[in-house]
Amino acid sequence: MCGRYTLATPLDELVEVFDVGHVAFDSWQPRFNVAPTQTLPVVIRGPDGLRRLGPMRWGLVPFWAKDPSIGNRMINARSETVAKKPAFREAFRRRRCVVPMDGFYEWRARAVEGSKKPLKVPFWIHRPDRRPFGVAGLWERWRGGRKGDADADGAKDVGDADAPLVTFTILTTAASPWMTPLHDRMPAILTDAEATAAWLDPEADAGRLADILKPAPGAFLEAWEVSRAVNRPAVDEADCVAAVGDGERFPTEPGADEPA
DNA sequence: CCAGACGTTGTT
DNA sequence: GTCTGG
DNA sequence: CCAGACGTTGTT
DNA sequence: GTCTGG
């Protein structure tokens, strides 16, 4: 769940929506098909309390890993168990982050008449107003066992060998009733500024954090079928999020808890 | 004790 | 079938 | 998440 | 690094 997303929102809008105080990367381009292992902007709370938007690679590499390829399998963490799992618990305590996106993809299998293999059909899930939102994440810094003394072994590594690899993972939670027809899990969406601030607060208490990681209400999202071209990670263009003409749609859920 | 894993998803 | 890479 | 690879030796 | 399994 949540293995592909979009981030096409302009940088200045991200800065405004996420109250970013420092932008720590240079190049920005709209992304319509973000895949694991790629590097994307993520929000953290810096030591000075200011929020930083910086580049991180998707797929968390724990600080103790010997081989960074473990990150290929650490693209999601279950909210229900993240505090206990060896790969995530330290990051959960000290390195929470917010992953900005303006939509994510889910696939459903569709049987095809006369064919043995069902099609994998992608859907783009997003806010009805298409504004960006944050998802709860964790991040890590990996130095590959290096002690920081590049001279010791003759510093034969190519490039910037001492730059740590910075990685992140996206938390998942149970699907809301609205989401269930599409999937049984969904990303842990931070539905307002207060939840976002609490998630980034190093002092946040466990009860509050658990509360934040509950499924977003159905009124928050809508979804529609998109082209199977999205299946290929190499296809990254605006048409990725265009509704298929005669495709399935999942309109947003009317607010069931609106005041009378 | 040492060795080996450390994760999630979906599908059958 | 299962793992790696994007 | 899906797509694509999945291997070694020796020779140019 | 830390836990689980043998």
Report d(CA A128, CA A65) in Å as an integer: 40
Q: What is the pLDDT of residues A184-204, one digit of tens each?
A: 999 999 999 999 999 999 999
Angle value at C-alpha A101, between A172 and A75, nearest 5 degrees? 40
| Complex ipTM value | 0.88
Report d(CA A53, CA A168) in Å as an integer: 13
First to last CA, chain A: 36
Instruction: Say yes or no: Cβ of A72 under 7 A from any atom of strand C.
Output: yes
pTM over 0.80: yes
Question: Which amino acid, one-letter code, is at A59?
Answer: G
Closest CA to A125 of A117, A136, A135: A135
Find residues whose C-beta atom lies within 7 angstroms of strand D: A 1, 3-4, 35-36, 72, 75, 107, 120, 122, 228, 231-233
**Lookup: nucleotide whose C1' is closest to A171 CA:** B8
Distances (CA, A) of A76 to A82, A235, A243: 10, 22, 26
* Strands annotated E in A113-252: 119-126, 133-142, 165-174, 185-187, 189-190, 222-225, 249-250
Q: What is the pLDDT of residues A217-240, one digit of tens each?
A: 999 999 999 999 999 999 999 999
Closest CA to A54 of A41, A35, A72: A41
